[in-house]
A and B are shown apart, each in its own frame.
Chain A
Amino acid sequence: MTFKAILSAVACCLLLAAAPLARAQGGASSTATGISRLMNPSLSLNALLLGQVSRDIPTKAANQVDLQELEAQFAAVVDPFWTARVIVAMHPEPGADGIVLEVEKAMAEYRNAPRGFGLRVGKDHLDFGKHNPLHTHALPFVYAPLGITAFLGDEVMAATGVEVAWNAPLPWWAELKIYATNAAAEVLDPESRDLAYGARLSNLWDTSDYSTLELGFSGLTGPGAARADLPAGRWNMYGADLTWKWVSASRTGGPAVNFTNEVLLPDPEFNLGDPLGFYSHLQYRFARQWWLGLGASVARDALNEDGATGESPLHTLRQVKANVTLTPSEFSAIRFEVHYDEEKDGDFRDLGAYVQVNFTMGSHPAHSY
């Protein structure tokens, strides 16, 4: 067992022990003990279990049942000035021995910024595009779309820094976020002393009382990840996303539609090919507890994982996927999904099937719209 795995296990035990310890204290006065549960943060645990089989990839990683992710979340008002949220995620790392513990979020938000302004400091998902801010258990499919992962990596882009937000006083909802972070996000160079800078502008219109149209633009620049086969340089990326949502007002749990489209335009300084990532996701609630999902994704001129060992360091990947999700309550779900991935003009193709179980314990904050 590695040191990381031991550390993870100890951390898990501490997290899980916190709740019963707090409960045992009951209403006892903290004056004598100096210990009180009254100010404890709200705590939630989310678990994702995943079973998968692949027709074309024989590895264990593609044919197994395992924990996909365990997420512990703490949220509290720190004092009159700050609200904070911490998320610790644990997941098996392919090729690693044991479970990796990762601080996905450790962020404080200033409570008293002037009207319309917001200030956040700490580590968080970068506000780039529509998909990157999502937590794993909030993804509409088992994995992030290929058009995203091919350029942003398998993990979300998360980094430590500061973000200023501003609600622009326009006739529609318009929110501008500008941030500066370290370069710890997966596609950047964590060894670099340079910072990454990014911005996102979200615009949302009510297309009816029960439907909205959101149009977002994102930009990010930072020191590129060091790869021996590539020249060093700054890594720039632009993105746009368009989302239409509709929910039936007439019936609780009635029909609903989420239609999300996002395009990424990586523009690295070293300029290889004409890269572009795209996905389109359609989710439809066809019965009170049931969702149907359809997705398509493209990654054009993405870098081969093997670098320049092949004939070309670039390839184009395509993906289609479909799922059905049963949500017996807001706190549990089971999902059945199939993917078909292929490399254009190449040998790689894969048909995979997945079963994912998702459950949440405790007080988990509602997800963003």
Chain B
Amino acid sequence: MKRTMNRVILPAVVLMLAVLAAAPVLAAVQVVATLPDLGSVVRYVGGDDVALQVLCPGEMDPHYLPAKPSLARKLAKADLLIYNGLELEVGWLPQLINKARNPDIRPGSRGAVDCSAAIDDLLEVPGANVDRSEGDVHPLGNPHYTLDPRRMVKVAKYVAERLARIDPGHGQAYRERADIFAREVAARLPEWESVTATARQDPIIIYHRNWAYLVDWLQLSVVGEIEHRPGIAPSPRHVEEVIVAGRDLGHLLVLAASWDHRHVAEEVAERAGGVLVVVPAQSGGKGGPADYFSLIDTICRDLAAGARKAEE
């Protein structure tokens, strides 16, 4: 009995302990990204060195993601939490972090990565007198910077540094992939800007200010907003004002996200004599753009198609 113990059980126990001890070393860095576009960048920068999960489905407006405890399960084992910041996820991320009970990703810890820290040229940062008469404004600035590929280059480099900090062994690989991402963006920018050349000269009515950074990048000419106070349904009177403002401008485009209320956008486009362009505002989701580059491709292509239709 004692011999069996020595020859079989002890080596088995030692082997099991060795496997368990080695497991964390072998495992990829566990990363959770709140948004699909951030996830796309992490996938690009992290490659096979990270295991990625994304919280918000592509077709869901990230302002209103339900804080399902099942999402907290994904956070429970995360080494790194990559989030948008600027209070975009304030309605659900704090609850999920609390539910996850993972001290490694609490705000302020090494594993909590607020990507807005990489953006040094935020738009629509309200002054000290901001209040909710302006709707559900984001008091730290417009958080939708992911729709500008130039700013996403900054995010990619920031993510690479934060990955390198937690996984120094692959630090060089992360930085190199972030550089490749930057070069890919730089290579595609002229094409995206060229494709949208006509749309950039057309007047545009946007549904929600989530397009602010796209507008800033492509220098679109916004003449109105259907949802002029964020988070507040537009009143019939305001919709009428937007229609009047857009009418007779010629070649008018109405830009809405796939989750916006289409019938309102349709009414504005129809009565103002414009063309409705409904595009996904983030990658992922069923039938949606597979990754970040596909997303920007889709938005630019559909804007261009809308501009062509407006000219007809």
Are A and B bound to each other?
A: yes
Task: Point out residues on A near B: beta carbons under 8 Å.
Answer: 109, 111-118, 165, 167, 172-173, 175, 202, 204-206, 209-210, 212, 245, 247, 249-254, 288-289, 328-331, 365-366, 368-369
Q: Chain A residues near B95 (CB, 8 Å)?
A: 366, 368-369
Main secondary structure of the interface of A (DSSP, over half): loop
Main secondary structure of the interface of B (DSSP, over half): loop
B57/A366 in contact, CB under 8 A: no
Q: Chain B residues near A330 (CB, 8 Å)?
A: 91, 136, 231
Q: State which of A206, A210, A250, A328 has its C-beta within 8 Å of the C-beta of B259.
A: A250
A115/B69 in contact, CB under 8 A: no
16 contacts between A and B (CB under 8 A): A115-B76, A115-B102, A167-B101, A173-B68, A206-B68, A210-B57, A249-B60, A250-B259, A253-B64, A329-B136, A329-B231, A331-B136, A366-B90, A366-B92, A368-B95, A369-B66
B102/A249 in contact, CB under 8 A: no
Interface membership of B233, Cβ < 8 A: yes
Interface size on B, residues (CB 8 A): 40
A365/B94 in contact, CB under 8 A: yes
Q: Chain A residues near B168 (CB, 8 Å)?
A: none
Total A-B Cβ pairs within 8 A: 99
Nearest-neighbour CB distance to chain A for B72, whole angstroms, equals 7
Which residues of B, 66-85, contact A by the 8 Å Cβ criterion? 66-70, 72-73, 76-77
Q: Chain A residues near B259 (CB, 8 Å)?
A: 249-252, 254
Q: Which residue of A lies closest to B77 (CB)?
A: A115
Q: Which residue of A lies closest to B76 (CB)?
A: A167
Q: A118-B101, A252-B259, A330-B136 are in contact. Are A204 and B68 (CB under 8 A)?
A: yes
Nearest-neighbour CB distance to chain B for A224, whole angstroms, equals 33
Q: Please report the C-alpha to C-alpha distance between residue A206 and residue B135 in the assembled complex, in whole angstroms.
A: 32
Interface membership of B114, Cβ < 8 A: no
Interface membership of B183, Cβ < 8 A: no
Q: A251-B261, A252-B260, A328-B232 are in contact. Are A113 and B69 (CB under 8 A)?
A: no
Nearest-neighbour CB distance to chain B for A178, whole angstroms, equals 14
Interface membership of B124, Cβ < 8 A: no
Q: Chain B residues near A245 (CB, 8 Å)?
A: 66
Q: Which residue of B lies closest to A331 (CB)?
A: B132
Q: Chain A residues near B136 (CB, 8 Å)?
A: 329-331
Which residues of B, 35-89, contact A by the 8 Å Cβ criterion? 57, 59-61, 63-64, 66-70, 72-73, 76-77
Q: Which residue of B lies closest to A172 (CB)?
A: B70
Q: Please report the C-alpha to C-alpha distance between residue A206 and residue B55 in the assembled complex, in whole angstroms.
A: 13
Q: Please report the C-alpha to C-alpha distance between residue A245 and residue B66 in the assembled complex, in whole angstroms.
A: 10
Given contacts A366-B91, A366-B94, 19 further A-B contacts (CB under 8 A): A109-B98, A111-B103, A111-B106, A113-B103, A115-B76, A115-B77, A115-B104, A116-B101, A167-B73, A167-B76, A167-B99, A204-B69, A209-B57, A210-B57, A249-B59, A252-B64, A288-B261, A366-B92, A369-B69
